[in-house]
């Protein structure tokens, strides 16, 4: 069973294969209208369950469109509609869903639920974001980076702000694909040490630099994300804003980074908070390419899972 649960749980060769496939899938669709089928329809006669226990725009729409373009059908289920973990165990739900559908994508809170679902499922399971990681996003991000700048291996990625789930998947990818990450944020919001240690053990350089202006020197890519993630208690909002404001990606920071640095944000963005509109809509931003590439990257991930 080939689950796509995390980037550090997927072999580097498989990650490369998925990225190559995503590039191929994207170029094969160039110029075609969105409602047409792909030339190849590997999901014909397949049904994919898309489970969302948290809100989503990109993940929901890009998976749904991707499945349809590959000839399959989707069932989009919200956490409140099904019994996942509410009176029925995740393992039982996994066994039941596996009798009805060919593939499961889930966005949930605790990663333990994802792993339990995958453990009991007899069909592939894809991680569509947990509190601790967001691997599909980072596959799209790497696809985007490489389209603009060539191989990411050896490049310098600067993560600004909260060392959250998206940051964790970047660290996973750094270890697997051999690029370097400088994290710049307040100490209480550093990524978990285990993510840093694992990336370093695999040969990636990971640095923590509190001075964000120093951090971006020589950056190939600067990444921002929301200051308050979906799983963060609302009561922490004000404290987080105060802690994270100095790490805003704005024109002054881009000046320090230089003209060659790309800017990414997985979206949804809070304009004038973690990054300014001038940067988001500016010449170094590849943020909307990133959003588009969710579609192509995830189609490649689904094909890999079902192969």
Beta carbon nearer to ligand CP, 137 or 293: 137
3-state secondary structure of 271: strand
Which residues are 74's β-sheet partners? Answer: 48
- Residue 57 binding result from ligand CP, ligand NVA, none, given CB thresholds of 5 to 8 Å by partner type: ligand CP
Beta carbon nearer to ligand CP, 204 or 249: 249
Beta carbon nearer to ligand CP, 75 or 256: 75
Beta carbon nearer to ligand NVA, 208 or 230: 230
* 284 in contact with ligand CP (CB under 6 A): no
- Residue 229 binding result from ligand NVA, ligand CP, none, given CB thresholds of 5 to 8 Å by partner type: ligand NVA
- Residue 225 binding result from ligand CP, ligand NVA, none, given CB thresholds of 5 to 8 Å by partner type: ligand NVA
Q: Residue 129 Cβ, how far from ligand CP at the closest point, in Å?
A: 6
Residue 235 CA to residue 130 CA, distance in Å, equals 20
Nearest to 300 by CA among 13, 17, 33: 17
By rule CB under 6 A, what string of x and - marks binding of each residue 122-141 to ligand CP?
-------x-------x----
Residue 222 CA to residue 261 CA, distance in Å, equals 7
Positive or negative, the CA dihedral 57, 173, 191, 281 is negative
Which residues are 128's β-sheet partners? Answer: none
Q: Residue 208 Cβ, how far from ligand CP at the closest point, in Å?
A: 24
* 293 in contact with ligand CP (CB under 6 A): no
Beta carbon nearer to ligand NVA, 123 or 291: 291
Q: Residue 229 Cβ, how far from ligand CP at the closest point, in Å?
A: 10
Residue nearest to ligand NVA (CB): 229
Q: How many CA atoms lie within 13 A of 53 on its CB side?
A: 21
Residue 195 CA to residue 167 CA, distance in Å, equals 9
Beta carbon nearer to ligand CP, 207 or 292: 292
* 266 in contact with ligand CP (CB under 6 A): yes
* 156 in contact with ligand CP (CB under 6 A): no
* 296 in contact with ligand CP (CB under 6 A): no
Interface positions with ligand NVA (CB under 6 A): 129, 164-166, 225-226, 229-230, 266
Residue 295 CA to residue 301 CA, distance in Å, equals 10
Q: In what order do the strands lie in the sheet with 206-208?
A: 206-208, 180-184, 156-160, 221-224, 262-265
Buried b or exposed e, range 85-122, using 16+ CB within 10 angstroms? beeeebeebbeebbeebbbbbbbbbebebbbbbbebbe
* 285 in contact with ligand CP (CB under 6 A): no
**Residues 53-72 interacting with ligand CP (rule: CB under 6 A):** 56-59
Phi, psi of 46 (to 5 degrees): -115, 145
The two structure tokens encoding residue 208: 């923590």
The two structure tokens encoding residue 152: 């990411």
* 269 in contact with ligand CP (CB under 6 A): no
Longest dimension (CA), the chain: 55
Q: Residue 192 Cβ, how far from ligand NVA at the closest point, in Å?
A: 14
| Contact of 49 with 281, CB cutoff 8 Å | no
Q: Contact region for ligand CP (CB under 6 A) — 52-60, 75-83, 141-149, 234-242? A: 52-60
Question: What residues make contact with ligand CP under the rule CB under 6 A?
Answer: 56-59, 129, 137, 266-268
């Amino acid at each position: 069973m080939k689950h796509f649960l995390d980037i550090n749980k997927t072999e580097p060769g498989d990650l490369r294969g998925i990225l190559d496939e995503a590039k191929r899938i994207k170029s094969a669709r160039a110029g075609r209208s969105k409602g047409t089928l792909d030339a190849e329809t590997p999901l014909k006669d397949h049904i994919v369950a898309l489970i969302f226990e948290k809100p989503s725009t990109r993940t929901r729409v890009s998976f749904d469109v991707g499945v349809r373009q590959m000839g399959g059908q989707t069932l989009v289920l919200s956490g409140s509609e099904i019994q996942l973990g509410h009176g029925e165990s995740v393992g039982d739900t996994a066994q039941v869903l596996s009798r009805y559908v060919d593939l499961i994508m889930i966005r949930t809170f605790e990663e333990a639920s994802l792993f339990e679902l995958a453990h009991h499922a007899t069909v592939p399971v894809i991680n569509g974001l947990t509190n601790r990681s967001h691997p599909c996003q980072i596959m799209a991000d790497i696809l985007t980076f490489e389209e603009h700048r060539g191989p990411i291996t050896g490049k310098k990625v600067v993560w600004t702000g909260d060392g959250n789930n998206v940051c964790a998947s970047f660290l996973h990818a750094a270890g697997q694909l051999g690029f370097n990450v400088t994290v710049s944020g307040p100490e209480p919001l550093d990524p978990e040490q285990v993510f840093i240690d694992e990336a370093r053990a695999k040969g990636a350089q990971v640095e923590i630099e509190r001075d964000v202006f120093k951090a971006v020197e020589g950056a190939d890519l600067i990444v921002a994300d929301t200051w308050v993630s979906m799983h963060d208690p609302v009561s922490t909002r004000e404290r987080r804003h105060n802690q994270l404001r100095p790490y805003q990606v704005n024109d002054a920071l881009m000046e320090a980074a230089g003209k060659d640095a790309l800017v990414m944000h997985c979206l949804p963005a809070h304009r004038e908070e973690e990054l300014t509109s001038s940067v988001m809509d500016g010449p170094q931003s590849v943020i909307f390419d990133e959003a588009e590439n969710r579609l192509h990257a995830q189609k490649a991930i689904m094909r890999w899972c079902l192969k």
